[in-house]
């Protein structure tokens, strides 16, 4: 009997701990201009819509130069894709892997070679 009481006393504090808040789907957004994650929300940045930065008439040797696509998170450039030698954008190397979670108050905008950013918005409820 003493062992059972000791176990219950030991486990009781852990049973009351909540690991995280609940997330409830709110909407899907396409962000292009500077936006701030609203209070009581979190954003899951899913993907960046990369633009074709070089016209099709660009000589092949220019395609071999490094070109990156980036988004701006809290005013800092975050690289999400790099142009490969075949002229296609890929996510590899030093690029940040998506998705990225942004808390309330964080800012987001499209950067170099990105037209829009696909975001899923969630309501945070305790």
Cα angle at 81 between 95 and 105, to 5 degrees?
Answer: 70
Structural domains in the chain, sorted by start:
21-125 (2.60.120)
Among residues 39, 35, 15, the alpha carbon closest in space to that of 26 is found at 39
How confident is the model over 57-100, as pLDDT tens digits? 444 444 445 577 899 999 999 988 776 655 565 555 567 888 99
Q: Residue 46: CB partners within 8 Å, gap ≥ 6?
A: 98, 99, 118, 119, 120
How confident is the model over 7-52, as pLDDT tens digits? 556 555 555 555 567 999 999 999 999 999 999 999 999 999 988 6
Q: What is the pLDDT of residue 63?
A: 45
Alpha-carbon gap, residue 118 to 116, rounded angstroms: 7
Cα angle at 94 between 97 and 75, to 5 degrees?
Answer: 75
Which two tokens mark 118?
A: 């696909």
Q: Taking the model in full, what pTM does it have?
A: 0.70
Which two tokens mark 61?
A: 């040797």
Alpha-carbon gap, residue 95 to 99, rounded angstroms: 12
Q: What is the pLDDT of residue 118?
A: 96
Q: Which of 52-61, 102-111, 117-126 has the lowest mean pLDDT?
A: 52-61
Contact 106, 119 (CB under 8 A): no
């Amino acid at each position: 009997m003493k062992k059972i009481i000791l176990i219950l006393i030991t486990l009781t504090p852990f049973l009351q701990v909540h690991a995280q808040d609940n997330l409830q789907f709110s909407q899907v957004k396409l962000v292009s201009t500077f936006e701030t994650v609203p209070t009581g929300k979190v954003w899951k940045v899913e993907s960046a819509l990369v633009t074709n930065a070089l016209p099709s008439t660009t000589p092949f040797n220019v395609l071999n130069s490094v070109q990156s696509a980036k988004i701006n998170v809290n005013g800092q450039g975050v690289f999400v894709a790099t142009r490969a030698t075949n002229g296609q954008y890929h996510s590899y190397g030093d690029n940040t892997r998506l998705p990225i979670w942004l808390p309330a108050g964080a800012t987001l905008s499209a950067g170099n070679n990105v037209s829009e950013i696909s975001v899923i918005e969630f309501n945070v409820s305790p």
